[in-house]
Structure 1
Amino acid sequence: MAERPRSKSASKQKKKKRMSGRTWFYGLFFTAAIAIVCGIIGYLLIILNGERILTENGSKLNFGEASIIYDANEQEIARIKIGTDNREIAEYSEIPEQLLNAIVATEDQRFYEHAGIDFFAIGRAVVKDVIARSAVEGGSTITQQLAKNVFLNADKTFFRKATEASIAVALEHQMSKPEILTMYLNRIYFGKGVSGVKAASKYYFDTELEDLELWQIATLAAMPKAPNRYNPIIDPESSMNRRAVVLNLMQEQDYITATEAEEAKAVVYERPDSHEDGQSENFQEFIDYVVEEAMEITKLSEEELRVGGFKIYTTLNQQAQQAMDEQFANNENFEKSKDEQIVQGAMVIIDHRDGTIKAMAGGRDYINKGLTHNRVQVKRQPGSAFKPIIVYGPALETGEMSASTILKNDKKCFGNYCPTDKWGPAPVSMTQAIKDSRNLAAVWTLNEIGLKRAFAFAGKLGFELDNEDRNLSAALGGLTHGTTPMELAAAFSVIANGGKSVDPHSIVRMEGKNYTYTYQAPASKQLMSAQTAYYLTDMMQTVVQKGGTGTRAAIDRPVAGKTGTTQHGIPDYNGPGIKDAWFVGYTPEWTAAVWMGYDKTDKDHILKSGSSQSAAMFAKVMKAAMKNVPKSSFNKPQELIEEEPPATITNFNAIFIEEEMKVQLSWNPIQDGEVTYQVFRKEASETEFIRFVDSLTSTGVDDMSAFPGLTYEYYVVAYDAGNDLESSPSPTIKVAIPETEIIPDIPMEPDPTVPDGGDVTTPIDEGGEEASPEPGDGTEQPGGTEEPGAGNGTGEPSPAPIETEGSENGNDAFENTDTGGNTQGAGG
């Protein structure tokens, strides 16, 4: 059969395919050749550029230009350049082999294999960054880090990275690996003004370099990534965690055994007895906070930031900071400890109108013994200071309750949770519950509004609470991990700011070479209604008034706030004592949070008094700090309708009825509106009236507790619960109770001189004396108040400590057991 002739189109297609394959072959060949040539030329240029820079700079170590920090008035307060004063040069022979191994394992695992640039590590970092959609891993080698820190500024640009690579390659050509490692270890910044591994060994461990133990080596190797964050003095916990990472890496790379790793992980760092801090800078905790914030803003390391020549303008108010430093340096403001472990404290001040941080005290160590860790950012149990956040704020926000809502205060169990406090079972208004810091009322209220709404409200204010916290003990501050003074100050700032969001910050702007930053506040959000914020403020003002738990926080301007204390929760110890003592409060201008307690609580290191000293610290600092701040008042939202208070009580009478030994009180009813009545009483020798009877609906009451021979004064007030308004006091009436002779009922026996049936008898002598009752002798007076006293509580929290509450000093200790959640009491 004859073959069919091929069509022209088929021939063209075949020819086209053959030509396309050839074209691809030659194209790939020449592309590869050009790439190789370009690569060689580029590599030569990189080497030549690096060699040129090394030639121009010689072996000189360039520490860069100091970054400068300014206060709110743009006055210089610190230069944070890494200095050379606290540096000792170590020879390669002095450096322990395991220290070299630790640095390589942590910073550059392929150090001995690459020639300055690790393309494998760069590729791995790119892949991880792509997967994470952000920069999560760097690809810099030890040589590149050395090149950057010695010869370059901190500007993160493409050209800088290219120059860094060229210097790294040049360094590898001119120096051996041991020389590079030695220079690197002599160059590393270890925080606290210490540079170089030799000085760091002596500073942190009081040990010669060659005598370092494995756990000490791992601690030092952990620090280059973040000298402050992983510093054993500043943050022992983070340092220990990072040390474990270093040891794991060393084990994985067969430098140490698993047993050696576990033993080194277990050692707890203790500062050497001979240690003395060399810091001479003022405002050190604020400076450290600024550096951390600047690192977040610029995404630079601390070392890059310090040598970058930045000008950092901050929010520091020197008058406020100096006032705070002065009070924290005064030992009289803190309880005296049995030994060298002193009572610690922390405080932060925020201007809630713009979020600027005015001052900060991270602990007493900053002044006396140098920097430890900033306790402003350390979590502690908040106790009753958390009630406005988790109970009363959410309750008001529902619109179903108000400041005058009557809350149940009777002792009861909620499942297995049985909170207690010292107060009686009578119902109480929300305002009075906050003023007295009552526990039962708070738990009842949280149960009424529901955990879901309460936790959503707290979440808006920045509290990320665990699922374990979702139980009623949260009403008394029983949290799994607690909260920090900074978090509480920020949350109370929202209340003080009319419910609008506040963004605490310490940096206003930064200027550097090819870099500028200006703070821009995030869009304001209404996190709670203006009415809720106003009523919380109005109620918390009673806390610092007479009879409130925080009276010592009062100063010469309006103040609202809340106290908080927590029980010690020490296992197998049932004695008295308090773990945490708080006062968080605000004026119309500034908010401040104060915490006091021991870093480590045990039976020998617990507070005896409650929140009174924290409240006093608030007053002492704020009064001096705000000396030049113009005074203002808390603003009432325009949408709140002004209601007229009830009319003053008329026809008030008080008379003593001798036959019944009582004072009978009566008055005319208020005709307009729904009101209740409050009766106030004081004995003539007393200086203050007490609320004798509360929530009366009748227009009269009897005082059955008046004692003979004493004089009492009374007045009555009408209270409009719906609008939380009260009338002016009625006229005061004075009633004198006459002396009364009490004739004892003594058994009699017949007189033998009198005939049977006579009525003359002789008293039986029982060997005792008749005693007339004294005022207050075994008699409870209604409406009486307790004087503040020392906390006295027991109980072990699970998982959070129990809290004490109910007076200025937390004198009503108690114990609760909640098998389904935290064991918790509330603290004044």
Structure 2
Amino acid sequence: MIKENATARLIHFLVGLFVACLALAVILALAVPIGFYGMAMYLSPTLPSTQEIKKAKLEMPLQIYSSDDKLIGQYGNRLSLPITFDEIPDNLTHAFLAAEDASFFQHSGISIKGLGRAVTEAVTDDDSQTGGSTITMQVAKNYFLSSERTLNRKLTELFLARKIEDELSKNDILTLYVNKIYLGEGAYGVRAAAKKYYSKSLDNLTIAETAMLAGLPKAPSKYNPVANPERALTRRNWIIGRMHELGYITEAERDEAVSSPIGIKLYKEKLDVNMPYLAEMTRATLVNRYGKQVMHSGWRVRLTIDSEAQTDAEAAVLKGLVAYDHRHGWRGAEANDEPLENFRRYSSMSPAKVTKVNSRSFEATMPSGESVTVNWSGMNWARKYISVNRIGYSPSNASQIVSENDIIRLIPTANGNWQLAQIPKIQSSLVSLNPSTGAVNALIGGFDFNHSKFNRALQGWRQPGSTIKPLVYTSALKKGYRPDTMVSDNPIQVGSWKPKNSDGRFLGDITLRRGLYLSRNLVSIRLLQAIGITDTLNLLDEFGLDKEKLPTTLSLALGAGQATPLQMATAYSTFANGGHRIQPYFIEQIYNYNNKLLFQANPQQACAECFNEKLEALNKKAVEDYESSIENSDNTAGNATSTDQQNVDVAENSDESINLSIYDASPQSDRLKAPPVQYELAKQAPRILEPRVAFDMADILRDVVQRGTAVRAKALGRSDIGGKTGTTNDAKDAWFAGFHPTNATVVWMGFDQPSTMGRREYGGVAALPVWMDFMRAQLKNTPRQWVPNEQGFTSRRLQKKAVETTDNDESNEPDTSEKPVTTQTQQRTPSTPEPELSPQTPRTTNRGNNDGVPQNPLSVTPVDSIPPIPE
């Protein structure tokens, strides 16, 4: 009886336990979906719309081109080249399924088996397993989520994967995956990776290569075939084996693929011409305006700069710096008995190690291993540097210059030999503008960008010296003075200040014209004193200088303020174009990755009417060329497909945003192939000088070349160029600002930390030769031209008076510190005859004021209103 009761109680307990377990199981079975549903309801409002994938950013490097379509710079290591589902090779699809998600076409976004594998991998640290995330989950993470390891992010990934599966097809999901997945080396997507690792298109990849790419998503750095070839090879072969197991490839294909070498052939876009100063100023300008995203936008930016002009400018600046070093002596080797690979090349100066020293030559090894010989003619300039104003005796033996194991610099010569050189301590910059539009023709920021990234053409604020004098004189011409107005060059005292001329002489009463082309300091001071500092500053501001950087004293007449080479080139463009203020610019066009035009510069032009007369013909030809290019493109493109339009906005917070469009999945080239564009009607640049004033000043500045401080420029054999030398106190800055009607170019030379360049380093000695070398190349095939005169014609003067000339510049100018101003009386002479009209030049129309209303070309300020010129 007792046993029966015990048995009954046991049975009752077991039944109760079973019922309890069953109830718990039912509760758990209901709780999981209820909890899942509740979590879904909680996260649903925070989930992004899958439609946003259509607008996801696809990344490509920013490319920068010269006006003649030479690639001169590229920024951004990220590369994403979109493809369509039909463009995905079957082997590539099979490789990714084998490596990442074999049941992709069967599951609904989440794979329980895959999650189990992830746990197993975490426990066993088995690198041969596939990951736990499905391809759909990876799409959710790559497009919408961060890579942080949190429970909330993982749950969001799961729910978002289900949402993607509900709204997109499997083909769409796979296409999104292969376009976005990161595969190392800056490559996003399979097409970019094929290009980066193998320099191939997708359809040319082998089974082994597709398996190598498929092994990268799990850990792009860990399985990178460049950094970790052995580990990458192991994973590749495992994927090949999986492809065979899943029936994607045959046994023979498996064996062939496994035995294949890694075969990496990294792709790197080669620049046609390396022009880092231009590339960097372009990058900085775009990033400043649109944000850092622009470096991965795929934009192709065409500049106004011609690569040949830029190369000419670089050569001219380097030649000028080398010439300065030759004048001031050899500072010695850079190092001795150090590894040659520690020294990089700058400009055309290559490092070399001296291996043998003969009596009149020496031998050296180049970084390539080549042995070269430097003859006596390539080193006999190397007198020992003692100070900026002193050099030693001329050497008579090569051993006085170099020793064995010295690290020195060599530059090639025109006859194929080598010349000893040294990295210059002095710097130089050059800016060349088209005076009609403001387009930058060439720009040099310094000796070498890799040596110093500081762009002196844009950022180098220096005293302009006497290059500012023409701007001051122009203020006088605006008030009615003429080139033959007599001004005193006699001594003057303003308070305790006793300024003097550079040569210490006084020429008495001379014409305004002669005062400028001989750069007489006292004439400049008297003119500024007469016309007023305030009015002059206002005009300098219109020229493009910064009034805040200029003094409000008479030292302004001698260039005591600060200006950049770009500002001075802008100012001198006004003399070249007949009196208009142009706005410098250097970005001509911006295209997206598929050569669709996003931006076209339409600058104000000094002769908009001249341009517009040709507009119809230009547009007609542009349309014809464009239609021809489209026809040719259709014949070669075949049945290329395209993806949906995807927009990338790199200026989300900008009122001037530009949307990028990636609408062609199969561009024919990775280089800019922009079609011709139709230009808009040009707008007239504002006039700041009457034609008479602009012509008179241009004419005087031609005299500076013909018989003034820039007389060396006569060697160019041109009568249609003008300009002004400039040298500041103690020769700390040397300038030449010059122009031709088609080109305004300014050259500066000096030390970054202002100090004397040495005796006799005038603007006509240091800067002018650089300008001449550059302009000689630019004007080689340019016919003689003239600046428009006050009647709207191009003209020339018939007579030139023989006057005293000087080869010296305006060096040793007086102290330009602040001094009080005094006013004296005026003296005038009759005006000069009108210049004769050149019969070869057609008549043109000039605008008068900024509103486009023609002014009376013969109107002159009444004599009574002209301020007195101090004696």
TM-score bracket relative to the smaller structure: 0.3 to 0.5
TM-score of the two chains, using structure 1 as the length reference: 0.47
